[in-house]
C-alpha cells in the first residue's frame, strides 16, 4: 500500500525572542490510506502541534523548522503541504484534508447559525448555495442529527451535538483525510462512544483516512488501527494498536498502558515526574529522567525510531 | 405541549398551541425586550429623582447668590431686597416645601414634556427652550462627530488588529496612541491657529459667519455651516477615532486568538470572509456598547471644544448655569444627558440580540 | 532547512488597508485643501479713484489690466457679511451671555445690558464719564436749598429709533410702570417709595424726597442726580400693558444712537448700525457699525488681535503686551484705574481677627506689587478704595493716615514686630495667641478665570511670608457660588473682595460698614455684611455723609474721618487693582489711547465713543 501522507523529518517549533523551542522534533510518519491512525501522548507532547502542522495552520510564533508533509492527491500527485502558497493551500483544505476541532463548542462561531458555518466553506469551494445546504443536510443526517440543527446557534446545542456538527462539517466535502483533534474531550462517556462510532462509520463508508489525536488510551483502544505514541516532541513507539497494547516496547508506552484503569482491581502504576518543557529537553533520550531502565547511553545518545518487531517501531536503546 | 393531553382535545387550543409553538423562538427575545424597557423606565425615574435631590442639596441659595453678585459688582439693579427675592422665588417655584417641589418637578418633567420652568441664565426664556435651542448644535457637532469617529476608528482598528503582524501597522498604532493621549483642545487650538489664522483655509469659530441670517433652505448657508463644522468635527474624529481604533484593535486581537478563527482557517475560507464573518462581527459587539455610551455622553457637549470653537452647545450652557447656580438649567442638562445615555444604552441593548444570539437566551 | 511562517497569508490585505487609509486621508483632506472663499474676506470696491477714471477712457487691453491693479489697492475688507471694516468697530467680549433675543432692562439681573450687548442702543438721562455728567435725555438738574427737591430738565428734541419723539409722558409712564412692578426687581422700582414727582407737563420733572416711614416728613437727598443719571426712560407706546419680566422689546425701541441690525444666539454676535436720524446732531459717532462678538479663548483671542480682527477686547494685559503688541504695531494698551480696587476683608467676629494688630500684620504680609503683576506687568498697587491716577492724593484722605497705618505697605519684618508687640509670641516656630492657640487663618478666593491670576496668587504669596514668621495662612479657592454663599453666612476668616467708591463721592467705600447692614455669623439670607463690625461712631459718620451734599466742601472732613476709621483699625486693607489695561487696535479707529479717565468696564463702553476717531484708512 502506498501511504496517503508521508511526514518526513518534520520539526515544528515556537519562536521566542532568543530561541526556537521544538514542539515536534524530526517526526517521520507514513499514514496509510483508509486507516485510523491514533496519535497519543501526555498534554504538551506535541501531538496537537503535529495536527496543526498537518493542516498547514502553524502561525507565528509557531515556525516549521524543517521537513515535509507530502499529501497524495486522488490523481496520485504528491503535494507538500509545507511551503504551499495560501491559495492552493486553501483549495486543499476541506477538500482533501478536513479537521474536527478540539472542543467544538469554542470552535464554532457563537454568533453565526450552524447553516452558515457548515455551508460557507462549501460555497467557497464552488458549490451553489442550494447544493451546499443539501450537502449539509446529508452530512447532518450521516451523524444522526436533524436538519433543524441548521437554524440553531452553537449555544443552543449540547456538547455532543456540537461535536456531531463539527464531524458533519468535516465530511461535507468528503475529504481524503480527517484530522480529529481530541474529538471526545469534555464529553460524557456515552456520548464519547457514539462520537467515536461515527468516526468509524465514516471510515467504513467512505474509506476516509482519519488521524485521531488524543491523550486517552481508551479512545485509542476503541477506534484506532495504528497508533503513534509521542513523548516530548518525538515518536516513541509506532505500531498496530493491538500489538502495542499486547506488548508495548517503549518503557513510556508501558507506563501509559499501565496507568489505564483495569477491571482486575490491580494497583494503578503512576508515572513519576513531569514531561519536560520544550525549552529544556534533556540530552539524549528525552524520557531518560523518568525511565527506570535509563543508563549512560540514554543520557548521551538520542535513540532512533527503528523497527523492533515487524510493523512495530520504537525509539529506545533498551527494547531489544 | 405533549405533557398537557387534556388541552389537546379542544381544537381551538390546538391552534393556540400551534401559534405558541410558532412564537416560541421569539418569546425569550420578547421577554428580554420587556425587561430592558422596564429597567429603563425605572432608571429614568431614579435619574430624575437624583437630579432633583442633588441640585436642591447644593450649597447656596441660587437667588441670593445672583443678587449678591450684582450688589457686589455695583451693577445693582435689584432695589427691592427681600420682597423681590420672594417674587422670584414664587416665579421659580422655590416657595413651596421640598416634597411639593419634587412632585411638581416630576409632573412637569415626565408629563409636562420636560418642562423645567424658567431658566435664570436666559430669563425669562424657559429652560426647555434654552436647552433645545443649543441641543441641535451639540448633536450636529459632537454626536455626529462621535459617530464618524466610531465608524472610521472601528474600521481602522479592525484592520490594525487583523494586520497586527505587519510592522507598518505599529506605526499607525503609535500615531493612534499619541492622538489618543493628546487632549482634544490642543489639537483644536493647533488646527485653528494653523488652518484658520495662518493658512486662512477654514473659519475659526462660531457655527456660521456672523453676518449670515440662518436659513436652512439656503444651500449657501448650509455650506457655510458645514465649513465651520469641519475643524471641530475633525478634532473630535481624530482623538476619539484614535481611541475607538485602539479599542477595536485589541478586541480584534483577542478575537483572533479564538478557536473558531483557526477552525475557519482550517475550513479553507478566504481571509476576507474570515475577517468579515468571524473576526470583525465578533469583535464588534463590545464596540457597539461603547458607541452607545459615547454617543450619550456627547449630549452634554464637549465643553472645551464648545468654548474654543464658540459653538452654542449644551456644555457651555451648563457651565454658565453652574456659575450662577441656575439649577433649572443644570437639572435639565444633567437629565437630558442621563436620559440620552440611558436611551442609547437601551437601544444598544435592544439591538444586541440581533447581533449576538447568545443574549436572547441569557435570561431564560 | 527553511523557515516558514504564515505571515504571507495576510499580505493580500495590505492593498486593502492602503486603499482604505488613502481614501480616508483624501476624504479628510479634500475639503481642507480646497481653496474656498472665506466670507470675511470678500471685498468690494468702495470708491473709484481718479486714476481709475483716466484708465477707463483708454481702451487698450493692457491698461485695463492696470486698472484692476489700482482698484485692488482701493479695496476695503468686508466683515460680518457686508460691513466695511474701516467703518465697523468690533468688540470681542468674554461675556458668557445666554440672552440674545431680549432687549429689556427689566427682566431681572440677567439681561443683555449687563453683558454689554445693548448699551449703544439705549440712552440714559446723563452719561457719567471721566468724572463729568454729559446731558443726553436730560439737560440739567437743580436742587432746592435744603436738598429735599430736585428739578430735572428734560431734553425736548430726542426721538425713539422708530421716529416717535421722547416726551415727558414717556418719563412719567416709566416712573409709574417701574414702581408698579417693584416686586419684580426692576431698576428704580422702589424709588417712588421715598420720592414723589410732579411735572409741568412740558420739560420739567420735580422730584421731592420724603422719609419712608413718615411720608409727610421731607428729607434731603443730595445724591439723587447720581442715581437718576442712569435712568433709562421706556417708550410708552411700546411698553404700555407689558409684563416687564416677559416683554422682550425686540426689535429694541430705544433712544440711543445705534439701532439693532441683528443679534444672533448661535454666533453670539450682535450688530448695531448708526442711526441716520439720531437726534443729538453734535454727537461724535465715528463707527457706522458696532459689532459685539465673543472670543473667550485667550490663545485664539491673541491670534485674532494679531490679525487685527477686533478693535477692543478683554485679553488680559500680560498676554496683550507680551504676545500681541510685538506682532501687531497697531495695538496699544488702554489703561485706566480699576473702578473697584480689590480689598482683603476680615471676619472681625472671629478671634483673634477682632484684634486690629492681627489685621495690621496681615496687611503688612501682602506683596501687592508682585501679585498685581501676575495679571498686568504694568500694574501699580492701589491703596485707596476708589480709582485714582498717580499719587493717592484726594480731598477725602489725610496723607498722614496713609503713612501712619502702613496703607499698602509690604513689610514682613514689621508684621513680625507688630505681632510681637501685641503679645503673639513665637513658640516652637509657631506664633500663638494668649491662650496658646497657634495663629491660623484661611483666605477665601474663587476661580481665577473670573478675576485673573492675582486673585489666587496673593494668598499663596501671603502664606509663604506668613510661614516665615510662624503664622499659618491657608488659601481656600472655592467655586463662585460657594464663595458668595460663604460670604453671606460669614463662613470665612479672610476673603477677597472689591470696593467701588466713586472718586468724587466715595460713600460706597464705607456705607456697607453701617451697623444696619450688620448680620451675625450664620444668618443665611438677606443682603448685608457679615464682617462682624458694629460701631455707633462710624454709623454716625456714615449717616452724616449720606445726608450731606457731596458738593459741599465741608463733607470732606467727614470723609477723612471715615478713611481714618478704616485705615487705623484695618477694617479692610487694599490688595491691588485689576483690569488695568485692555488692548486697543488703532488700525481703523484711534484716539482712545489718550483716554485716561475711567470708563468702567465694557458696561460703560457707550461713554468712550466720544473719544474715538476714524483713521480714514
Q: Which among B83, B210, B238 is the top mutation candidate for probing chain C, defined by the most C β-carbons within 10 Å of its own β-carbon?
A: B210
Q: What is the pLDDT of residue C593?
A: 55
Nearest to A63 among C3, C9, C12 (CB): C3
Task: Give the nearest chain C residue to B312 (CA atoms).
Answer: C266
Task: Give the nearest chain C residue to B63 (CA atoms).
Answer: C525
- Residue C493 reports pLDDT greater than 60: yes
Looking at residues B123-149, what average pLDDT do you find? 87
CA–CA separation, C172 and C148 (whole Å): 20
Give tens-digit pLDDT for C541-585.
Answer: 999 998 888 888 889 999 999 999 999 999 999 988 765 678 889
Q: Which of C583, C96, C594, C46 is nearest to C329 (CA)?
A: C583
Between these two residues, A275 and A32, which has the higher pLDDT value? A32
B99-103, B215-219, C63-67, C216-220: which range is least confident on average? C63-67
Task: Give the nearest chain A residue to B269 (CA atoms).
Answer: A121
Q: What is the pLDDT of residue A63?
A: 86
> Contact at 8 Å (CB) between B69 and B76?
no
B59-73, B231-245, C242-256: which range is least confident on average? B59-73
Looking at residues B182-190, what average pLDDT do you find? 87
- Residue B303 reports pLDDT greater than 90: no
- Residue C104 reports pLDDT greater than 60: yes
Domain ranges across chain B: 140-314
- For chain B, what is the radius of gyration of the CA atoms? 27
Place C17 in a pLDDT band, splitting at 50, 70 and 90.
low
Closest-CA distance of chain A to residue B279, Å: 9
Q: What is the pLDDT of residue B24?
A: 67
Contact: A63, C4; criterion CB under 8 Å: yes
Any idea what the Cα angle at residue C351 is, between residues C405 and C539, rounded to 5°? 60
Place C421 in a pLDDT band, splitting at 50, 70 and 90.
very high
Q: How far apart are the first and last CA of chain A?
A: 28
Contact: A106, B259; criterion CB under 8 Å: yes
Give C575's DSSP letter: -
- Residue B4 reports pLDDT greater than 70: no
Looking at residues B326-342, what average pLDDT do you find? 85
Q: What is the pLDDT of residue C56?
A: 40
Query: Chain B partners of C448 at a C-beta cutoff of 8 Å?
Result: none
Q: What is the pLDDT of residue A82?
A: 87
Q: What is the pLDDT of residue A279?
A: 84
Q: Which of C411, C399, C298, C369 is nearest to C577 (CA)?
A: C369
Looking at residues C445-460, what average pLDDT do you find? 83
- Residue C72 reports pLDDT greater than 50: no
- Which residues of A fall below an 8 Å CB-CB distance to C? 57-60, 62-66, 82-83, 85-86
Q: What is the pLDDT of residue B328?
A: 82
A–B CB contacts, 8 A cutoff, strictly below: 81
- In the block, cell 479592525 appears at B158
Grid cell at residue C582: 485692555
Contact: B357, A111; criterion CB under 8 Å: yes
> Contact at 8 Å (CB) between A7 and A214?
no
Query: Chain A partners of C9 at a C-beta cutoff of 8 Å?
Result: 86
Q: What percent of chain B has pLDDT over 90?
A: 11
Query: Chain C partners of A66 at a C-beta cutoff of 8 Å?
Result: 1-2
CA–CA separation, C429 and C467 (whole Å): 9
Q: What is the pLDDT of residue C358?
A: 94
- Residue C212 reports pLDDT greater than 50: yes
Give tens-digit pLDDT for C499-518.
Answer: 888 888 899 899 889 988 88
Between these two residues, C37 and C403, which has the higher pLDDT value? C403
Q: In the complex, which subunits touch A with 3 or more CB pairs below 8 angstroms?
A: B, C
Task: Give the nearest chain C residue to B304 (CA atoms).
Answer: C297
Grid cell at residue A135: 450537502
Most confident segment among B321-335, C77-91, C134-148, C303-317: C134-148
Q: What percent of chain C has pLDDT over 90?
A: 37
Q: Quick check: C294 contacting B, CB < 8 Å?
A: yes
Question: What would the DSSP string read from start to end of A55-75?
Answer: TT---TTEEEEEEEEEEE-TT
Query: Chain C partners of A59 at a C-beta cutoff of 8 Å?
Result: 5-6
- Residue C165 reports pLDDT greater than 90: yes
- Residue A295 reports pLDDT greater than 80: yes
Place B68 in a pLDDT band, splitting at 50, 70 and 90.
low
Domains and CATH numbers, chain A: 3-96+176-314 (3.40.50.300), 104-174 (no CATH)
Contact: A65, C5; criterion CB under 8 Å: no
- In the block, cell 486568538 appears at B257
pTM over 0.95: no
- Residue C167 reports pLDDT greater than 90: yes
> Contact at 8 Å (CB) between C587 and C615?
yes
Q: What is the pLDDT of residue A179?
A: 92
> Contact at 8 Å (CB) between C340 and C500?
yes
Between these two residues, C28 and A83, which has the higher pLDDT value? A83
Place B16 in a pLDDT band, splitting at 50, 70 and 90.
low
Between these two residues, A209 and C130, which has the higher pLDDT value? A209
Place C273 in a pLDDT band, splitting at 50, 70 and 90.
very high
Most confident segment among B354-358, C342-346, C485-489: C342-346
Q: What is the pLDDT of residue C569?
A: 93
Nearest to A63 among C5, C8, C12 (CB): C5
> Contact at 8 Å (CB) between C460 and C473?
no
Q: State ipTM.
A: 0.83
Q: Which of C161, C172, C173 is nearest to C257 (CA)?
A: C161
SS3 state at C133: strand
Place B66 in a pLDDT band, splitting at 50, 70 and 90.
low
Grid cell at residue C61: 487691453
CA–CA separation, C60 and A1 (whole Å): 102
Q: What is the pLDDT of residue A39?
A: 93
Q: What is the pLDDT of residue C29?
A: 41
Give tens-digit pLDDT for C314-362.
Answer: 787 788 888 899 999 999 888 777 778 889 999 998 888 999 999 999 9
Place C523 in a pLDDT band, splitting at 50, 70 and 90.
low
Nearest to C5 among A60, A66, A85 (CB): A60
> Contact at 8 Å (CB) between C583 and C333?
yes
- In the block, cell 474715538 appears at C612
| Burial class for B206, CB neighbours closer than 10 Å (0-12, 13-18, 19+) | buried
Q: What is the pLDDT of residue C410?
A: 93
> Contact at 8 Å (CB) between C253 and C238?
yes
Task: Give the nearest chain A residue to C11 (CA atoms).
Answer: A86
Give tens-digit pLDDT for B75-121.
Answer: 434 444 566 667 767 777 777 888 888 888 888 888 877 888 877 77
CA–CA separation, A102 and A55 (whole Å): 14
Nearest to B357 among A60, A99, A153 (CB): A153
Q: What is the pLDDT of residue C7?
A: 37
Nearest to A65 among C1, C6, C12 (CB): C1
Q: What is the pLDDT of residue C22?
A: 57
SS3 state at B75: coil
Query: Chain A partners of C7 at a C-beta cutoff of 8 Å?
Result: 60
Q: Which residues contact A165 (CB under 8 A, 6 or more apart)?
A: A104, A108, A114, A117, A118, A140, A143, A145, A149, A154, A157
Specify the CATH superfamily of domain B140-314: MetI-like (1.10.3720.10)
Q: Which residues pair with C133 in a beta bridge?
A: C128
Question: What would the DSSP string read from start to end of C411-464?
Answer: -HHHHHHHHHHTT-EEETTEEE-TTSPBPEEEEEEE-HHHH-THHHHHHHHHHH
Amino acid at each position: 500500500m502506498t501511504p496517503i501522507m508521508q511526514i518526513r523529518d518534520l520539526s515544528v517549533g515556537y519562536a521566542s525572542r532568543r530561541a526556537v523551542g521544538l514542539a515536534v522534533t524530526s517526526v517521520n510518519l507514513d499514514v496509510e490510506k483508509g486507516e485510523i491512525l491514533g496519535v497519543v501522548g501526555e498534554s504538551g507532547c506535541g501531538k496537537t502541534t503535529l495536527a496543526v502542522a498537518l493542516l498547514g495552520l502553524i502561525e507565528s510564533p509557531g515556525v516549521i523548522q524543517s521537513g515535509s508533509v507530502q499529501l497524495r492527491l486522488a490523481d496520485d500527485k504528491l503535494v507538500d503541504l509545507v511551503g504551499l502558497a495560501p491559495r492552493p493551500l486553501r483549495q486543499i483544505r476541506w477538500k482533501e484534508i478536513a479537521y474536527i476541532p478540539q472542543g467544538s463548542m469554542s470552535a464554532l462561531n457563537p454568533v453565526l447559525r450552524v447553516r452558515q458555518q457548515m455551508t460557507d466553506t462549501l460555497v467557497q469551494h464552488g458549490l451553489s448555495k442550494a447544493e451546499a445546504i443539501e450537502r449539509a443536510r446529508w452530512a447532518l443526517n450521516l451523524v444522526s442529527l436533524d436538519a433543524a440543527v441548521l437554524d440553531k446557534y452553537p449555544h443552543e446545542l449540547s456538547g455532543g451535538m456540537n461535536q456531531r456538527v463539527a464531524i458533519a462539517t468535516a465530511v461535507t466535502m468528503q475529504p481524503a483525510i480527517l484530522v480529529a483533534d481530541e474529538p471526545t474531550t469534555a464529553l460524557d462517556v456515552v456520548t464519547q462512544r457514539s462520537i467515536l462510532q461515527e468516526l468509524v462509520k465514516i471510515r467504513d463508508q467512505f474509506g476516509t483516512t482519519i488521524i485521531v489525536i488524543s491523550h486517552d488510551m481508551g479512545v485509542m483502544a476503541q477506534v484506532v488501527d495504528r497508533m503513534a505514541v509521542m513523548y516530548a516532541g518525538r515518536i516513541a513507539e509506532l505500531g498496530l494498536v493491538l500489538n502495542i497494547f499486547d506488548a508495548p516496547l517503549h518503557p513510556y508506552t508501558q507506563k501509559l498502558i499501565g496507568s489505564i484503569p483495569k477491571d482486575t482491581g490491580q494497583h494503578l502504576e503512576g508515572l513519576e515526574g513531569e514531561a519536560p518543557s520544550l525549552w529544556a529537553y534533556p540530552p539524549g533520550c528525552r524520557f531518560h529522567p523518568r525511565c527506570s531502565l535509563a543508563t549512560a547511553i540514554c543520557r548521551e545518545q538520542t535513540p532512533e525510531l527503528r523497527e523492533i518487531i515487524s510493523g512495530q517501531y520504537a525509539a529506545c536503546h533498551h527494547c531489544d | 405541549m405533549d405533557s398537557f393531553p387534556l388541552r389537546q382535545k379542544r381544537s381551538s387550543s390546538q391552534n393556540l398551541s400551534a401559534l405558541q409553538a410558532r412564537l416560541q423562538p421569539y418569546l425569550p427575545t420578547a421577554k428580554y425586550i420587556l425587561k430592558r424597557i422596564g429597567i429603563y423606565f425605572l432608571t429614568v425615574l431614579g435619574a430624575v429623582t437624583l437630579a432633583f435631590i442633588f441640585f436642591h442639596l447644593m450649597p447656596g441659595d441660587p437667588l441670593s447668590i445672583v443678587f449678591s453678585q450684582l450688589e457686589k459688582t455695583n451693577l445693582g439693579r435689584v432695589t427691592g431686597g427681600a420682597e423681590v427675592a420672594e417674587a422670584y422665588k414664587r416665579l421659580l417655584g422655590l416657595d413651596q416645601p421640598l416634597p411639593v417641589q419634587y412632585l411638581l418637578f416630576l409632573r412637569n418633567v415626565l408629563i409636562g414634556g420636560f418642562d423645567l420652568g424658567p431658566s435664570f441664565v436666559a430669563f425669562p426664556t424657559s429652560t426647555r427652550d434654552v436647552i433645545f435651542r443649543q441641543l441641535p448644535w451639540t448633536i450636529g457637532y459632537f454626536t455626529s462627530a462621535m459617530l464618524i469617529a466610531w465608524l472610521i476608528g472601528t474600521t481602522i482598528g479592525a484592520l490594525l488588529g487583523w494586520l497586527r503582524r505587519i510592522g507598518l501597522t505599529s506605526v499607525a498604532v503609535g500615531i493612534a496612541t499619541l492622538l489618543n493621549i493628546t487632549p482634544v483642545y490642543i489639537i483644536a487650538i493647533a488646527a485653528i491657529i494653523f488652518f484658520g489664522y495662518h493658512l486662512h483655509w477654514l473659519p475659526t469659530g462660531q457655527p456660521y459667519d456672523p453676518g449670515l441670517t440662518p436659513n436652512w433652505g439656503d444651500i449657501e448657508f448650509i455650506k457655510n455651516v458645514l465649513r465651520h463644522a469641519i475643524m471641530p468635527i475633525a478634532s473630535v474624529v481624530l482623538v476619539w477615532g484614535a481611541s475607538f481604533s485602539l479599542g477595536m484593535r485589541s478586541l480584534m486581537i483577542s478575537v483572533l486568538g479564538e478557536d473558531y478563527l483557526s477552525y475557519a482557517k482550517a475550513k479553507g475560507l478566504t481571509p476576507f470572509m474570515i475577517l468579515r464573518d468571524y473576526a470583525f462581527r465578533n469583535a464588534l459587539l463590545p464596540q457597539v456598547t461603547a458607541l452607545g455610551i459615547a454617543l450619550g455622553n456627547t449630549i452634554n457637549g464637549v465643553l472645551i471644544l464648545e468654548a474654543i470653537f464658540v459653538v452654542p452647545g449644551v456644555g457651555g450652557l451648563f457651565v454658565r448655569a453652574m456659575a450662577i447656580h441656575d439649577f433649572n438649567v443644570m437639572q435639565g442638562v444633567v437629565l437630558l444627558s442621563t436620559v440620552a445615555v440611558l436611551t442609547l444604552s437601551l437601544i444598544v441593548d435592544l439591538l444586541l440580540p440581533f447581533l449576538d444570539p447568545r443574549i436572547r437566551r441569557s435570561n431564560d | 532547512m527553511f523557515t516558514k511562517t504564515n505571515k504571507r497569508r495576510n499580505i493580500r490585505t495590505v492593498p486593502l488597508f492602503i486603499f482604505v487609509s488613502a481614501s480616508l486621508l483624501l476624504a479628510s483632506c479634500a475639503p481642507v485643501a480646497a481653496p474656498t472663499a472665506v466670507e470675511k474676506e470678500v471685498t468690494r470696491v468702495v470708491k473709484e479713484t481718479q486714476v481709475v477714471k483716466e484708465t477707463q477712457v483708454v481702451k487698450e487691453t493692457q491698461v485695463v489690466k492696470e486698472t484692476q491693479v489700482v482698484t485692488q489697492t482701493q479695496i476695503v475688507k468686508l466683515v460680518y457679511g457686508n460691513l466695511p471694516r474701516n467703518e465697523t468697530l468690533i468688540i470681542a467680549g468674554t461675556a458668557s451671555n445666554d440672552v440674545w433675543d431680549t432687549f429689556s432692562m427689566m427682566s431681572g439681573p440677567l439681561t443683555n445690558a449687563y453683558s454689554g450687548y445693548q448699551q449703544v442702543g439705549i440712552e440714559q438721562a446723563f452719561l457719567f464719564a471721566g468724572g463729568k455728567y454729559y446731558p443726553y435725555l436730560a439737560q440739567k438738574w437743580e436742587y432746592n436749598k435744603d436738598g429735599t427737591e430736585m428739578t430735572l430738565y428734560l431734553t425736548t428734541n430726542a426721538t425713539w429709533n422708530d421716529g416717535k419723539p421722547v416726551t415727558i409722558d414717556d418719563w412719567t409712564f416709566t416712573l409709574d410702570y417701574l414702581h408698579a412692578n417693584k416686586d419684580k426687581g426692576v431698576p428704580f422700582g422702589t424709588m417712588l417709595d421715598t420720592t414723589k414727582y410732579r411735572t409741568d407737563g412740558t420739560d420739567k420733572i420735580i422730584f421731592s424726597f420724603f422719609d419712608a416711614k413718615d411720608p409727610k416728613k421731607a428729607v434731603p437727598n443730595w445724591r439723587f442726580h447720581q442715581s437718576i443719571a442712569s435712568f433709562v426712560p421706556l417708550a410708552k407706546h411700546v411698553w404700555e400693558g407689558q409684563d416687564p419680566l416677559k416683554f422682550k422689546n425686540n426689535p429694541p425701541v430705544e433712544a440711543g444712537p445705534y439701532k439693532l441690525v441683528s443679534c444672533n444666539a448661535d454666533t453670539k454676535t450682535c450688530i448695531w448700525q448708526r442711526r441716520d436720524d439720531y437726534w443729538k446732531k453734535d454727537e461724535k459717532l465715528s463707527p457706522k457699525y458696532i459689532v459685539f462678538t465673543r472670543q473667550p479663548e485667550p490663545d485664539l483671542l491673541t491670534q485674532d488681535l494679531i490679525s487685527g480682527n477686533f478693535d477692543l477686547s478683554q485679553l488680559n494685559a500680560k498676554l496683550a503686551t507680551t504676545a500681541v503688541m510685538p506682532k501687531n504695531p497697531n495695538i496699544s494698551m488702554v489703561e485706566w484705574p480699576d473702578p473697584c480696587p480689590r480689598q482683603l476683608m476680615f471676619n472681625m467676629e472671629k478671634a483673634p481677627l477682632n484684634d486690629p494688630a492681627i489685621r495690621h500684620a496681615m496687611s503688612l504680609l501682602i506683596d501687592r506689587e508682585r501679585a498685581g503683576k501676575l495679571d498686568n506687568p504694568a500694574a501699580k498697587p492701589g491703596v485707596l478704595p476708589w480709582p485714582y491716577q498717580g499719587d493717592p492724593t484726594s480731598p477725602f484722605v489725610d496723607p498722614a493716615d496713609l503713612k501712619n497705618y502702613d496703607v499698602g505697605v509690604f513689610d514682613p519684618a514689621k508684621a513680625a514686630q507688630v505681632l510681637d508687640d501685641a503679645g503673639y509670641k513665637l513658640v516652637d516656630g509657631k506664633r500663638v495667641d494668649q491662650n496658646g492657640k497657634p495663629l491660623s487663618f484661611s483666605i477665601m478666593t474663587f476661580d481665577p478665570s473670573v478675576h485673573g491670576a492675582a486673585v489666587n496668587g496673593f494668598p499663596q504669596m501671603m502664606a509663604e511670608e506668613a510661614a516665615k514668621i510662624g503664622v499659618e495662612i491657608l488659601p481656600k479657592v472655592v467655586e463662585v457660588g460657594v464663595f458668595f454663599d460663604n460670604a453671606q453666612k460669614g463662613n470665612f476668616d479672610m476673603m477677597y473682595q472689591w470696593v467701588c467708591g466713586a472718586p468724587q463721592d466715595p460713600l460706597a467705600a464705607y456705607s456697607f460698614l453701617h451697623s444696619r447692614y450688620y448680620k451675625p455669623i450664620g444668618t443665611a439670607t438677606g443682603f448685608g455684611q457679615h464682617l462682624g463690625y458694629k460701631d455707633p461712631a462710624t454709623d454716625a459718620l456714615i449717616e452724616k455723609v449720606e445726608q450731606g451734599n457731596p458738593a459741599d466742601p465741608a463733607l470732606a472732613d467727614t470723609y477723612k474721618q471715615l478713611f481714618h476709621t478704616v485705615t487705623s483699625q484695618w477694617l479692610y486693607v487694599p490688595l491691588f487693582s485689576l483690569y488695568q489695561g485692555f488692548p486697543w487696535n488703532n488700525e481703523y479707529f484711534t484716539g482712545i489711547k489718550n483716554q485716561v479717565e475711567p470708563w468702567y468696564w465694557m458696561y460703560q463702553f457707550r461713554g468712550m465713543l466720544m473719544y474715538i476717531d476714524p483713521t480714514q484708512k
